[in-house]
Each structure stands twice: as C-alpha cells, then as structure tokens.
C-alpha cells in the first residue's frame, strides 16, 4: 500500500507529468482538490473511487483533519492511492502535513512533484519570473493570512528585495498586499500582472500597476506577479527606460530589438556556410571575446 502525493500541475492536462498520468490510470482511489480540472480526472480508471476534498474559499470546505483521516483510511485499505493536488504538492498545498499523517500510521508515501502555478502560470502568460539584468531572483509568498494583521511574513523586507514577487492565494487580499508593499517602500508604479485561471481555457491576464492592485476584484484562482518582469512579454519602452542595460547586447554593442522576450531571434552565424579552418589547433590564438557578458540577450 502506497499513497502517492501527486502534483497535477497548473491546470492544462498536458502539463501533468508522465508519472502522474501513469499513476492516475492504475490508482484504486484518487483523492483530489478543487484546482484539479475534469480533463485530468477523466484519466482515472472507471473502477477507481474518486474522493472530492476540494476546498472552495467561497463555500464548502473539507477540514485538513478530515483529508488526513481519509488518506489514512484509504491508504490502509488499498494498494495504490493518489492524493492529487494542484501545482506542486509541497507548494502551499499542505502536502507536508499529509505526508506526516500517513507516515505516523506506517503508510508508505511517495511524492510526485508537479509543475507549480507560481512559475508556470507566469511563464505560460509570457512572463519570465527571472530576467537577465532585470530580476535575478523571485520570491513566492502566500497572502492567505491577512498582511495587515496576523501575517508572519516580513512585508517590509519583501518590498525592499528588488526582485520578482509572486503572490499565491492573494485574490481576496490583493488590496492588503498592495498597501503593505507600498507602506514598505515599493513604488506604486511597479508593474503587476494578475494571471487568472492560468493555462486553462479561462485564462485571463491583467496588466496594471501596484497602485491599482485590488481596486477591481481579483477572481480566484489568481497568481499575482509584482516587479519589472510583469511588464513582459513585450519589453515596453518603460521597462527599457528603467533598465537600460537590457536594451543592449554588450558583446557586440549592437542594440537588441526590444521585441517580445521569447520571439527575439538569437543571432548565430549559419553553421553550414562558414568555411572550416584548417589552421593547426595549437597555434591558433584563442580569442576570449567579451568575457563579462553572455552573447545571449536573456537567460
Ligand atoms: C493552495 S495554493 C496551491 C498552489 C499549488 N500547490 C501550486 O504549486 O501551484 C492555491 C493557489 O495557487 C494559485 N493557483 C493554482 N493554480 C492556479 C491557476 N491555474 N491559475 C491561477 N492561480 C493558480 C492561486 O493563487 C491559488 O489560490
């Protein structure tokens, strides 16, 4: 008997891992969450038991204790149980608690990582969470607790990081997130992207500035990306103005066309047309070229 804690990815069934897809076809029981779409559940064998433990923030809730008890019960009675969770099971998914509850009962547990919405949602919308010379790091936080009151996060520090901030579970607290970050010193003009129902047929991407975050209601589920990269995929004039270095390839000093990030061609000489040098390898001087910069505009 094994309970698999399986990540279902951000929504698009094709973003499920091969391992997750295989386990769904052989599971005796699948215990699933609200964010797991019907197309993914269609992969489950017809004889398997489906247990819906979805937690809807606007209504029905299944307590974590009930979910743990359900997993232990099924884990003791069946050989293959899949606990299917949106995104990655260990990113704000309480997967760690479920693993401990199963372990305490001596039930074998295996974690099957999933593609987290925190990275894949922005990526699918054309927003890189890191971007050379613009943002060298990203931080993923939850706004599940109230940033204005009982939050354990240091929002002042987050406001000063100068890197990309990805906020999950922030739909209902978007305004508090905005207020805490601006109070912490982050510019109200900072670009923001709100990605709703990422990678699904209902995906919607809203572009705004931090000043406007929470002015309009933010639907669930949503990923809130805060930082200069939120102005992607089009490298806007504003982004170039704020980060002039991204407009130039320093290895050639040629300006890079500020085209959409992922459509900018990477210029490499055609490999099959260059004559092959016959000079002895050991006598040819090695030209180190520009050492400080990668010729590729992005990483
Ligand atoms: C309980 S957390 C679980 C996160 C999940 N484990 C992951 O790695 O993506 C749920 C939150 O994830 C975000 N989320 C998950 N899937 C999403 C999607 N397809 N579109 C937008 N947001 C999503 C939302 O912020 C939502 O409130």
- The answer to whether 178 and 208 are in contact (CB under 8 A) is no
| 297 or 213, higher pLDDT | 213
φ/ψ bin of 159: left (φ > 0), alpha (ψ from -120 to 50), beta (otherwise): alpha
Reply yes or no on domain 118-231 having CATH 3.30.950.10. Answer: yes
Which range of 142-151, 152-161, 277-286 scores highest in mean pLDDT? It is: 152-161
The active-site residue out of 85, 88, 151, 169 is: 169
Cα-based distances in Å from 222 to 127, 141, 253: 14, 13, 40
| 232 or 85, higher pLDDT | 85
Measured distance CA(31)–CA(109) in Å, rounded? 14
Query: Model pTM?
Result: 0.80
Question: What is the tens place of the pLDDT at every residue in 5-61?
Answer: 999 999 999 999 999 999 999 999 999 988 888 999 999 999 999 999 986 555 667
Question: Quick check: do 2-115 and 118-231 share a fold?
Answer: no
Q: Name beta bridge partners: 4.
A: 82, 110
The active-site residue out of 12, 33, 88, 151 is: 33
> Domain-by-domain residue ranges, the chain?
2-115, 118-231
CA of 151 to the centre of ligand 1 (A): 19
Nearest CA to ligand 1 atom 15: 117
pLDDT-based confidence at 247, cuts 50/70/90?
A: low
Measured distance CA(20)–CA(112) in Å, rounded? 7
The whole-angstrom distance between residue 299's C-alpha and the CA centroid of its chain comes to 17
95-104 vs 64-77: helix crossing angle, rounded to 10: 50
Contacts of 204 (CB under 8 A, 6+ apart): 195, 196, 197, 219
* Atom of ligand 1 at shortest range from CA of 57: 27
Nearest CA to ligand 1 atom 10: 169
DSSP strands (E only) in the chain: 2-7, 29-32, 49-52, 80-85, 108-112, 138-142, 164-168, 191-196, 204-209, 222-226
- The CB density around residue 26, as the number of other CB atoms within 10 Å, is 12
Percent with pLDDT over 70 in the chain: 75
> What mean pLDDT do residues 103-131 have?
96
Q: What is the pLDDT of residue 279?
A: 40
Residue 85 annotated in active site: no
Which residue ranges have their beta carbon within 6 Å of ligand 1? Answer: 10-11, 35, 85-88, 91-93, 116-118, 121, 168-169, 195, 197-200, 221-223
Q: What is the pLDDT of residue 144?
A: 85
The CATH class, in words, for 2-115 is: alpha beta
């Amino acid at each position: 008997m094994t309970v698999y804690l399986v990540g279902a990815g951000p929504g698009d069934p094709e973003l499920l891992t091969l391992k997750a897809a295989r386990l769904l076809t052989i599971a005796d029981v699948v215990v699933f969450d609200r964010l797991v779409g019907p197309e993914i559940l269609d992969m489950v064998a017809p004889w398997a038991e489906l247990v819906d433990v979805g937690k809807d923030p606007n209504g029905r809730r299944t307590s974590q204790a009930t979910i743990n008890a359900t997993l232990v019960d099924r884990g003791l009675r069946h050989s293959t149980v899949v606990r299917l969770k949106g995104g990655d099971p260990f990113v704000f998914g309480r997967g760690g608690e479920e693993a401990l509850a199963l372990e305490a009962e001596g039930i074998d547990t295996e974690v099957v990582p999933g593609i987290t919405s925190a990275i894949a949602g922005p990526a699918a919308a054309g927003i890189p969470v890191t971007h050379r010379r613009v943002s060298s790091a990203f931080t993923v936080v939850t706004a599940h607790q109230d940033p204005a009151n009982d939050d354990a996060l240091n929002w002042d520090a987050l406001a000063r990081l100068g890197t990309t901030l990805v906020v999950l579970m922030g739909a209902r607290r978007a305004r508090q997130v905005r207020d805490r970050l601006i109070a912490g010193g982050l510019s109200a003009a900072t670009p923001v992207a709100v990605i709703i129902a990422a990678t699904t047929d209902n995906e919607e991407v809203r572009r705004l500035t931090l000043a406007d975050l929470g002015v309009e209601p933010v639907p669930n589920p949503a990923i809130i990306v805060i930082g200069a990269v939120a102005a992607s995929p089009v490298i806007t004039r504003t982004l170039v103005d704020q980060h002039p270095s991204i407009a130039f390839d320093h290895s050639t000093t040629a300006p890079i066309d500020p085209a959409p990030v992922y459509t900018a061609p990477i210029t490499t000489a055609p490999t099959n047309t260059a004559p092959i040098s016959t000079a002895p390898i050991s006598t040819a001087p090695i030209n180190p070229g520009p050492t400080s910069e990668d010729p590729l505009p992005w990483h």
